[in-house]
A and B are shown apart, each in its own frame.
Chain A
Amino acid sequence: MKPSLDIVIAGVGGQGTVLASRVLAQAALEAGLSAKTSETIGMAQREGTVQSHVRIGKDECGPVIGAGRADVLLAFEPAEAVRALGLLKPGGFLMVNDYFIRPVTVTLGTSVYPTDAIMDYLENTPFQLKVVRAFETAVAAGSFKTVNTVMLGALIATGSLPFTREAVLKVLLDLVPAKARAMNEKAFELGAKL
């Protein structure tokens, strides 16, 4: 039986969730599996809540994953992990970047970000949780903007995807601009060690 996998990528507009979902979908196609994605493009890209869905090896279905059906939730930001948690199936794999992005509403005091309560909540959910320091790793690779690549590297290293690390790295380097390749390769490799 061919593998099938539903992956949700959650984050904040500008973090590069779209690139991450395209890499996974392209890698799936190259592995001979069907792939679909659905992405947030448009107004929400400006620091709003964004989600990308990737469906691998699923036929006769839409591009959006239903509640409690995702195998993997890759969250680039803790609050966005909690917001997307209802999509993850019981026992599903949850990888979270532990770097908090405080929206303007919190800075202005019209909304709150209880960071400790959010991390406690994530630690007590019925999922396989892995917390990664993706922001610091991305900075070490050359730019905080490579958080998406670090997270991809970290996800591939868990062995939970039906394709190889080399295959994903190749797709990634094809998709990023030439001058950002070295930095992304470094971010990917550092991510894989997390």
Chain B
Amino acid sequence: MGKTLLMGNEAIARGAIEAGLHLAAAYPGTPSSEIIGTLAAWAGDFSYYVEWSVNEKVAMEVAAGAAYAGARALVAMKQVGLNVASDPLMSLAYIGVKGALVVAVADDPGPHSSQTEQDTRTFAKFAKLPVFDPASPEEALEMTKDAFELSHRYGMPVFVRPTTRVCHATAGVEFSEIQSFPTEGFVKDPRWVIFPRLSYERHRWVESQLQKLAAEFSENRWNRITPGDRLGIVAGGVSYYYAVEAARDLGLHPTVLKIGNPHPAPLAKIEAFLRQVDRVIVVEELDPVLEEAVLAVAGSIGFAGQIHGKISGDLPRAGEYSVDLVKRVLAELTEVAGDAAAASTLDAPPQLPVRPPVLCAGCPHRASFYAVKRATKGLDAIYTGDIGCYTLGNAPPLAMVDTCLCMGAGITVGQGLHRIEPERPVFAFIGDSTFFHTGIPGLINAVYNKHAVKLVLLDNSTTAMTGHQPHPGMGRTASGEVTQVVDVVALIRACGVGLVEEVNPLDLKAAEGAVKKALEYPGVAAIVMRYPCVALYKPTRRFRVDASQCVNCKRCIKELGCPAFYQEEKPVIGPSCYGCGLCAQVCPVGAIKEANS
């Protein structure tokens, strides 16, 4: 069979299937979303079960339950999702699993689209669980299979930790046969009930497992030495390829230790490596996990050479690495000439336009933000935001997101703000998927503790930012089955919110009216702004500026910041117009019209 072009996330999905997957669960988050998205798309061809869970904690627990019953389970999330799932995970490390439980957590050095640059390898050390750290999509497939096997054999959850440059890279990957395992079923046993006495025993068990794993990792194929001269390089993840390519371009021939299992560190392998080199450069993104392991072994064997890394100050702790960065550091530390090809001989370019991501043309969130902005004009209101496309509402000219912390925090941070400054109105914006994720407990808290904040639920009928995954409000499961719709309006009312307004944000007057009503209401109020994401439908109309009527006040441009507009002599609406018609409602002279009228 030939090679198939797969993205790293698709390779993890394929690896799970080849390892005999029974159940997969996740909440979407860049760069991890395509793992479960792929499993959902392929579900019809296989017999595993796959779901989008409402949040990462739920996904982890669903997967754990399946593993208790002897199933091979996969749970996937982005690095900050692991914070949400950390409560069950920390205990699971002690309780252990039957079947197998692989926890795929995607890290995002840079970060490209995350709140933090936290390192899941560090989290794994804290949780006392083993990690596979793939350097490429090919490795992601193979490591996922090995992770299932290891999880089953050791009875522990096992991490697979790709980074963005593995998740969103593609490569030709070879498939192999699909294994199949029976599920034994859940067997009642005191081992499944965590009590302090059991915890102590299991803590001792976990520590002994880690010692065995460190020994096993010194012998497996993922931790290996490529012999060279007395210069040593230790690297893991995609940084391994940066280091190898940089060394090749610079004409260096180092001895390279590639570590694919950063925790528990393969101590015996590190010792064997240190005996072959005089000095070491450790290349890894984010935390100095490998460097600390190398330093520990170096200390215990009395290694006399220098060890360069983040702790020594030679490589950065923050940000994404690249072949160019590694090349610069290697050239400097080894005193060889730098890469001539990388030295730009170009003249300084002209000033380039700044091009940040923006809300799409036609995005209903723009209309929702604008309606609230108009209705609260002149008030010293605070607008708390949340995680999703709508975080982009912070950019001018809307400037309607004053805070963004983590999933579900908009509604709750708003309560603290309002308690300290009750005279300032607080509007908390939250997307539909985020509301199901962690918004509901915050809303209940507002009602219970009488924090009179105003919830603005941006209901665009999808999880847009991460690639349009279904959620409980949509009546459709991950694999496309029809299911019960969880009615957000009924849910908000059931939480005890006294005023709930439902409105189409593209009807500016009605939306503004609903916001004003919520503002006047003395208690917790909610406005459900409902209109689908532009990715869910084809545009049926477009708008144009009638230059003969346009007075060039530029209000359409300056109020909305829609990317379909550009300014020539007068404002022009370009081809990306989606026909939302918000601009036509903003134009004071009626110069914006449907294009065919």
Q: Which one, A55-63, A150-158, A159-167, A185-193, is touching chain B?
A: A55-63
B323 x A64 contact (CB < 8 A): yes
Instruction: Give the contacts of A166-191 with B (CB-CB under 8 A).
Output: none
A106: B residues at CB distance < 8 A: 353, 566
CB-nearest residue of chain B to A63: B169
Instruction: Give the contacts of A58-74 with B (CB-CB under 8 A).
Output: 60-64, 66-69
Interface string of A99-133 (1 = CB under 8 A from B): 00011111110111110011001001110000000
Instruction: Give the contacts of B550-592 with A (CB-CB under 8 A).
Output: 557-558, 561-563, 565-567, 575-576
B343 is an interface residue with CB less than 8 A from chain A: yes
A110: B residues at CB distance < 8 A: 354, 396
A82: B residues at CB distance < 8 A: 349-350, 352
B392: A residues at CB distance < 8 A: 43, 46
With A62-B165, A108-B396, A121-B347 known as contacts, the answer to whether A47 contacts B170 (CB < 8 A) is: no
B5 x A22 contact (CB < 8 A): yes
A4 is an interface residue with CB less than 8 A from chain B: no
Q: Name B's interface SS.
A: loop
Interface string of B315-356 (1 = CB under 8 A from A): 000000011100100000000000101111111011111111
- Minimum C-beta distance from B592 to chain A (A): 15
CB-nearest residue of chain A to B467: A41
A105 x B355 contact (CB < 8 A): yes
B397 is an interface residue with CB less than 8 A from chain A: yes
Q: How many residues of B contact A (CB 8 A)?
A: 65
B466: A residues at CB distance < 8 A: 42
B389 is an interface residue with CB less than 8 A from chain A: yes
B354 x A111 contact (CB < 8 A): yes
The answer for the CA separation of A106 and B343 in the assembled complex, in Å, is 31
A146 is an interface residue with CB less than 8 A from chain B: no
The answer for the CA separation of A66 and B467 in the assembled complex, in Å, is 29
A45 x B342 contact (CB < 8 A): no
Give the contacting residue for A60; candidates B244, B561, B562; CB below 8 A. Answer: B244
Give the contacting residue for B575; candidates A85, A90, A121, A144; CB below 8 A. Answer: A144
B interface residues with partner A (beta carbon < 8 Å): 2-5, 30-31, 112-113, 135-136, 165, 168-172, 238, 241-242, 244-246, 248-249, 322-324, 327, 339, 341-347, 349-360, 389, 392, 395-397, 465-466, 557-558, 561-563, 565-567, 575-576
In the complex, besides A29-B2, A35-B170, 11 extra interface pairs with C-beta distance below 8 angstroms are A36-B170, A39-B168, A39-B169, A60-B241, A60-B244, A66-B249, A104-B395, A110-B354, A111-B354, A114-B350, A114-B351
A-B contact pairs, 21 of them (CB 8 A): A34-B171, A36-B136, A37-B171, A41-B168, A43-B30, A44-B112, A45-B357, A46-B360, A60-B245, A64-B165, A66-B249, A66-B324, A67-B341, A79-B352, A86-B346, A106-B353, A112-B353, A118-B352, A124-B347, A126-B346, A144-B575
